[in-house]
Structure 1
């Protein structure tokens, strides 16, 4: 379980603010030039999620938080290409974080080469944008323009600008689940360097699963320099239970013809002409 040590990053984040803290750390320590992530359209009152580039700590904080509607973050690679950015991190749900190993496996070198860090978001589903009008407004009178934050902790939680707080039964939300999500076999973003999500007993910590040597390197350095605060995941029994349960449920959808072994991590760097490897961080 992890949380950002910086209070602003923690406050702006969804739960523990870990993804924001990590992206800022990766930028400051010269691992990446930018991250593909999601932003909210306009002033944020539309809650319309859009893919975009985070190139600075300020842009990382502006992208913080969860929307629970779909954003095709990988499409922001076009903006990265236009700006000549060569070292990219991806923040995405499993359907997006799985794309990178597929590109590397199939040797789609040109499009796959810039991706150096893969951050997967724990995700059981996303909802169609129509849920705002057809459920939240129509049944509960909650205008999206007045919403300031939302979360899912067994129920759909909504905080309003007037300070009020509302809970909506997730069963009521199922009708607006995106069709593709009903077939997703990977709740836990198993192809990522680090998988992360706000499941657990409170809204102040983020569960993280470190899956690669690169992920371990970054996590260890962040803990050591005080960028994040960490405690064993076993201290949150609810988080561990949900991780296992939801992973098992989604894995039942894994296609019979597919290789059940998971391939993770950036491919090893190619040697230079002189036989040496590129310098490590």
Structure 2
């Protein structure tokens, strides 16, 4: 059974680091500040050296071989393949899923059963407190660069031993209330909208019957996306064990960046058991241009 947690509060957040708080009140505790990915004291290169080491990243293109799952994904389904592998081993995976009533609303949860793998397939936009899923002691965590940075900072502080971290490429994000504003602007009911994609400077909204798909120029709604994302220096989740995106690969393939030994071990296992097909045909320059563009 998939369990979805509620919105965060100070008790659930500090509960992640039970036994490490040195102050009685929340105002006197510095843990949240120290692990926040936006804290100005963050030295990304030093943190990378501490938690990643000097392993040279390996970039591949990957595609899940399960055709049923591949059809549910927009790209190559690499994250779904990892989810499937973990669940088939009896391990737990922290992911983002969609609300059953309002599909564009995102929720964080921890999957435990193999038949739940499809619930996490596909691309979603939404601001969810995924780090709280660490309460469930997952074996694998799939999130964005801001999530993986927070977890790595907690690791560097000696607060947690992180699960396998899968980071998803991300240029921008938007909260659900602002998504509703976009739907209102284009005249789509929230019950009818099933998916949102951003491609070629267009926001594309798919409806339940696929007969009334809507497109709106990104520039018309760009102010609704999170301001914090404009200043994010990490579009490719550089502190994850494995980073996954679609930049630099052909349609229906995923770009994967292997950054650690345990990330390499996981991908090797997926290749050996036939879960994924991989190739070296990746335009790494496209990834470098993405990072440069985001840092401007």
Q: TM-score range by the shorter chain?
A: 0.7 to 0.9
Unpaired segments ≥5 residues, structure 2 = 1-60
Q: 1:163 aligns with which of 186, 204, 210?
A: 210
Separation in structure 2 between the aligned mates of residue 127 and residue 64 of structure 1, nearest angstrom: 19
Root-mean-square deviation over aligned CA pairs: 2.1
Contact 1:194–1:215 at 8 Å: present in 2 too?
yes
Change in CA separation of 1:203 and 1:148 when aligned onto 2, cut-off 3 Å: farther
Does 1:245 pair with 2:289?
A: yes
Structure 2 CA distance for aligned equivalents of residues 19 and 159 of structure 1: 22
Residue 24 of structure 1 deviates from its aligned partner by 1.4
Check conservation: 1:91, 1:120, Cα contact below 8 A: yes
1:36 to 94, 108, 122: 94
Residues 38, 26 of structure 1: CA spacing in aligned structure 2 closer, same or farther, 3 A cutoff?
same
Match of 1:145 in 2: 191
2:107 aligned with 1:50 = yes
User: Where does structure 1 lack aligned partners over 5 or more consecutive residues?
Assistant: 253-281
From the superposition, tell whether residues 130 and 100 of structure 1 become closer, same or farther in structure 2 (CA, over 3 Å). closer
CA contact (8 A) 1:131 1:173 kept: no
Measured at CA, do residues 44 and 207 of structure 1 come closer, stay the same or move farther in structure 2, by a change above 3 Å? farther
| TM-score between the two structures when normalised by the length of structure 1 | 0.76
Q: TM-score, normalised by structure 2?
A: 0.72
The equivalent residue for 2:169 is 122
Identify the match of residue 158 of structure 2 among 81, 98, 107.
107
SS state at 1:145 partner: coil
- The size of the alignment, in residue pairs, is 234
2:252 aligned partner: 204
Find the aligned partners of 2:277 and 2:215 in 1 and give their Cα distance. 29
> Structure 1 residues 68, 241: closer, same or farther in 2, change over 3 A?
farther
Counterpart of 2:191 in 1: which secondary structure?
helix
